[in-house]
Structure 1
Amino acid sequence: MGIALPGPGRCSQKDGIRVLWQGPARWLVLAGAESGTEERLRAIVGRDAAVIDQSGALVSLHLEGSRVRAALSKILPIDLHPRVFARDDTRSTAAGHIGIQIVCVEDTPCYLLLIPRSTAPDFARWLIASSAEFGVGVE
């Protein structure tokens, strides 16, 4: 597919497909359903790896703005400063009891958060409430 598998704490992307490192020998591939990515991956890995459709498991939130780093820093126990968390960096972390994966999409700052579908409403309410001072709202 022409995308290098990223190392620890990194992601890579090409042609609308993003690959996130999740642990030793584990990656999460994000692509649109219409891309045919799942079938191509199955053909590439054969019996050497498992390809599992997770499209119904996660909710993605795209967050950006001049105060998004400050807002997320209130609820995430990781350093989001661009010196240590820059474009194409990714981390698995927790916001309270909710496990999330965060990706730095752009240094502007712009982040992609992946949250288990079952806990996404709780996370969204918590994020909005804790970020009200920054003018966070829902579009």
Structure 2
Amino acid sequence: MATVIFYEKPGCINNTKQKALLKAAGHDLEVRNLLAETWTAESLRSFFGQLPVADWFNRSAPKIKSQEVIPEQIDTETALSLMLQDRLLIRRPLMQVGDRREVGFDVDRIDKWIGLQPIDASQRSKVEDLTHQDLQTCPNSH
């Protein structure tokens, strides 16, 4: 079991489901407010790895939905600058275990990384239901 530093937007429906999956798998969570964290371009950039810049963005952010920000047209430096100004642009969650950092909640990737199998058999059906849901797209954006 891992200790996961989990950066969320408080009240986010999907972040709540994601945390439930991690807890059911026996992980300890250190939950932090993504919007209130003191970020630098370097600290934020460390979560995105080799992902294309467009994949760093929260597609449900108001500035993206209004097309004020078009992720596919933005370079690395501009993306980080925009995200430092408007934290809603940052794709969620950001997670850290040890030195490894990740963005988003791809169930298969996280299962291979730290495991998402429930430690309590009574949680199995709940976990299976959650893992078949879209945990990346904000349900309030439809």
- TM-score when scaled to structure 1? 0.25
Structure with greater proportional helix content: 2
RCO higher in structure (CA 8 A, sep ≥6): 2
Q: What is the TM-score with the length of structure 2 in the denominator?
A: 0.24
Greater strand share, structure number: 1
